[in-house]
Amino acid sequence: MRAPEAHRGNSLHAGAWWLWALGLATAASRTTNPLLLGLLVGVAGYVVAARRTDAPWARSYGAFVKLGLVVIAVRVLFSVVLGSPIPGTHVLLTLPEVPLPDWVRGIRIGGRVSAEQIVFALYDGAKLATLLICVGAANALANPARLLKSLPAALYEAGVAVVVAMTFAPNMVSDVVRLRTARRLRGRPTGGIRAIVQIGLPVLEGALERSVAVAASMDARGYGRSAQVPPAVRRTTTVLTLGGLLGVCAGTYGLLAAEGAAYGLPVLVGGLGAAMAGLWLGGRRSVRSRYRPDRFGPRSWLVAGSGVAVAALMIRAGSWDPQALHPGVVPLTAPTLPLWPAVGTLIGLLPAFVAPVPDTSKESTP
């Protein structure tokens, strides 16, 4: 199982990267331990560094990391300004408090800022930042065009809109970098309002040209044509899809809530079955064919399974030692790194060794 050079025959399924990333994100949602969250970020970052390409979408990982840092800063700022229900004895500073009417009792603006509430806000913000970084890892590793090809036929139209939205921002960023480099080589300034205006107009023009080109290519390929299906099939498809999605939501809530664990799994499985049946019926409207569809090979199963294993072990560890996954802040204690959850998190490094090594010289944009 040594990682070979990537080519069309052994390329990894795009959905495997998303399953792996969602597994890491699920594990991050089960803990507020900053050491475990940092380990998850390190695992995701190592895999991205080892297996991403030079395509425009592969450069989005750094933006997600910066967004995660912004989320942490905003969470701490809100805790300082709006207060926190966490009681604390270590007062860091006291802000002027704004008097509020009785009908907003429980909310305050200003007042005491304790070390306990700051640490709690840092833990909470770090969890959300880790979720965003895991999603950013999937965006950097999965080819959106190939992911679109693997979607069910009923979701193809919505998938096209998502793919266009996902590829617009990276392409625009690459245009900005290219134009700033050209201006710097010509000795022109790259900062200031005037430079931003002069760079922004070509960027918008390029985005408009790409949009027109995409629309023309979709029209030439007959995009939007659909087959006629009986009204009864359309109604059945709607009922199964909506009912299945509601079942998935109810089942997920049951699994997350302690009192709903008994019915959560059956409702979730039933909702998934109904939703899949609705998507299969809805796919009968699509008349498009698939040329060389991607297959879920052994390496794809290993990549997806590693993410699922990380999530399962973290969920299991929550029942063994919940205190290790959620370190207390009252009183303030230093978080410790639990051994088995940390070892389970390292399973997420498996894609860096089994996924095919990308050939960056042959990578093309969608």
Give the list of residues 6+ apart from residue 144 with CB closer than 8 angstroms, or none.
Answer: 14, 57, 162, 163, 166, 167, 366
Q: Does 134 reside within a domain?
A: yes
- State whether 130 and 195 are in the same domain: yes
Please report the pLDDT score of residue 271 as a whole number.
86
Contact 73, 129 (CB under 8 A): no
- State whether 202 and 272 are in the same domain: no
- State whether 29 and 119 are in the same domain: yes
- State whether 207 and 349 are in the same domain: yes
Please report the pLDDT score of residue 305 as a whole number.
92
Q: How far apart are CA 307 and CA 43, in angstroms?
A: 11
Q: Does 265 reside within a domain?
A: yes
Domain-ending residue, one of 258, 284, 310: 284
Please report the pLDDT score of residue 245 as a whole number.
84
In 3D, which of 301, 307, 316 has the Cα closest to residue 25? 307
Question: pLDDT tens digits, residue range 160-219?
Answer: 666 666 666 666 777 788 888 888 888 877 777 777 777 777 877 777 777 677 767 766
- State whether 179 and 274 are in the same domain: no
pTM: predicted TM-score of the whole model, two decimal places:
0.72
Question: pLDDT tens digits, residue range 209-257?
Answer: 776 777 677 667 666 566 677 778 778 888 888 888 888 888 777 766 6
Q: Does 154 reside within a domain?
A: yes
Q: Does 363 reside within a domain?
A: no
- State whether 222 and 238 are in the same domain: no
Q: Is 111 left (phi over 0), alpha (psi -120 to 50) or beta?
A: left
Q: Does 8 reside within a domain?
A: no
In terms of residue numbers, what domain contains 263?
230-284
Instruction: Return per-residue pLDDT of the chain as tens, 366 residues.
Output: 556 665 555 677 888 898 999 999 989 988 999 999 999 999 999 999 988 887 777 778 888 999 999 999 999 998 888 877 777 778 888 778 777 777 766 677 777 888 888 899 999 999 999 999 999 999 888 877 777 666 666 666 666 666 666 666 666 777 788 888 888 888 877 777 777 777 777 877 777 777 677 767 766 766 656 667 777 877 888 888 888 888 888 877 776 665 555 677 788 888 888 888 887 777 666 666 665 667 778 888 999 999 999 988 998 888 888 888 888 887 888 888 888 899 999 999 999 888 887 765 544 444
In 3D, which of 329, 339, 268, 341 has the Cα closest to residue 90? 329
Contact 57, 144 (CB under 8 A): yes
- State whether 338 and 193 are in the same domain: yes
Please report the pLDDT score of residue 45 as a whole number.
93
Please report the pLDDT score of residue 315 as a whole number.
85
Q: Does 6 reside within a domain?
A: no
Give the list of residues 6+ apart from residue 140 with CB closer than 8 angstroms, or none.
Answer: 48, 52, 57, 58, 59, 60, 61
Number of helical (H) and strand (E) elements in the chain, helices listed first: 13, 2
Q: Is 245 exposed, middle or buried (0-12, 13-18, 19+ CB in 10 A)?
A: middle
The SS3 of residue 30 is coil
Please report the pLDDT score of residue 52 as a whole number.
84
* Residue 323 tokens, joined: 């205190």
Contact 31, 147 (CB under 8 A): no
Q: How far apart are CA 52 and CA 198, in angstroms?
A: 32
- State whether 247 and 204 are in the same domain: no
Long-range residue pairs from 105-113, CB within 8 A, at least 24 positions apart, any chain? 107/82, 107/83, 108/82, 108/83, 109/81, 109/82, 109/83, 110/81, 110/83, 111/83, 112/88, 113/80
* Residue 70 tokens, joined: 């912004």
- State whether 341 and 255 are in the same domain: no
Give the list of residues 6+ apart from residue 326 with CB closer than 8 angstroms, or none.
Answer: 31, 32, 33
Q: Does 136 reside within a domain?
A: yes
- State whether 118 and 241 are in the same domain: no
Contact 252, 263 (CB under 8 A): no
Please report the pLDDT score of residue 249 as a whole number.
85
Q: How far apart are CA 267 and CA 178, in angstroms?
A: 51
- State whether 217 and 235 are in the same domain: no
* Residue 98 tokens, joined: 């704004």
Number of domains in the chain: 2
Give the list of residues 6+ apart from residue 2 with CB closer than 8 angstroms, or none.
Answer: none
Q: Does 342 reside within a domain?
A: yes
Q: Is 101 exposed, middle or buried (0-12, 13-18, 19+ CB in 10 A)?
A: exposed
- State whether 148 and 259 are in the same domain: no
